[in-house]
Amino acid sequence: MLFVPRIIHGAWAVSRVLDEDGAKFHPEAWNSNANIFFIDQPIGVGFSYADYGETVSTTEEAAKDIAAFVAIFFENFTKFKGRGFHMAGESYGGRYLPVFAAAVYDQNAKLLQQGLTPINLTSVMIGNGLTDTFSMLTSYVDFQCSHASVAPINDISTCVAMKQMVPRCTKWFQSACIDHFDAIDCNAADMLCTAAFEMPFFASGKNPYDISKDCEGKIEETLCYPITQHINHYLDQPEIRDVLGVDPSVTANFSSCSRSVTTAFGQTLDELHPTVDYVAALLERNVRVLIYVGSYDWVCNWVGSERWTLAMEWSGMEEFNKQPLRDWVVDGKSAGKTRSAKGLTFATVEAAGHMVPYDKPKESLEMVQRWLAGKPL
């Protein structure tokens, strides 16, 4: 299998696409003090492809490829050997990253047996992540019907009906998806509860990635952000594909989402397998974990993320839970709320949506720089 790594350096380091005119200078680039490479994964997304048509349909399958790629990368780019390695992702990355990082960590034992240098896995950074689908679904009631973010967006009768579904869905999820995973029963619970909690939101016309705004364009075409079309067009230019090293055999246009991969993962119910236990296991092995969430994001909101971080069972649970939320500050102003203990940090980014670096570039860069330096937010 072949992944397409995009190593960011030089002029690429400080550019981003904002409109149809292409890339422009971006002073808040995350790699101001770090080397970054992006991996188009799982196979079939972005510019990635497989020589013989191989596919993956679960996060666990994809993790094997990621671990193999990371080992190969460091063996070939030897100047990076031994350096702190931080794995980052957002959205469905909340499911991916804990499993991927665990695979990289566990692979180190094999690398040592083969006389190779182990990967210095230092931390995992998850932005607006879907790490626990069930906590997130039931949190939609809080997000739509209280002042958890903005003023309530649904009417009272709708909110009451949603709230009444929470105990039923929580109980069903626990018995069918967590205590013992039953594919048919768990899928039925997910379908019923997803409809109960999500339909009222989408009827509002709000942007699921930023509840403070209405959706711009058709969500299936723009993801509520017309800028995504500019990015797609930019990446499809022949000269840009050449710079990125895209293999000529990849003839399809760049797309932000892959329907075939989405379908494959959907058929295995991949989303219905929380990865909270992987996060706990990484923390027990001294791999730091940052969970950051834009306060305006609905689809992977801060309420659901905070709930699973507080409910997670690990040796630092008691100390983490007793920490009050406090302001973290940038240039003398609150940039959000945070709680931290024993290597785990939870943080909100005030007035940011699902794409935190896009909405709050200055604050998100400060957050990342502090995290990479091992400093508290």
Catalytic residue numbers, as ranges: 91, 297, 354
318/309 Cα distance (integer angstroms): 11
| CB of 99 closer than 8 Å to CB of 275 | yes
- Nearest one of 153, 157, 132 to 143, comparing CA atoms: 153
300/342 Cα distance (integer angstroms): 24
Exposure string (b/e) for 44-69, b if CB count within 10 Å is 16 or more? bbbbbbeeeeeebbbbbbbbebbbeb
133-145 vs 183-203: helix crossing angle, rounded to 10: 20
Exposure string (b/e) for 337-368, b if CB count within 10 Å is 16 or more? bbbbebbbbbbbbbbbbbbbbbbbbebbbbbb
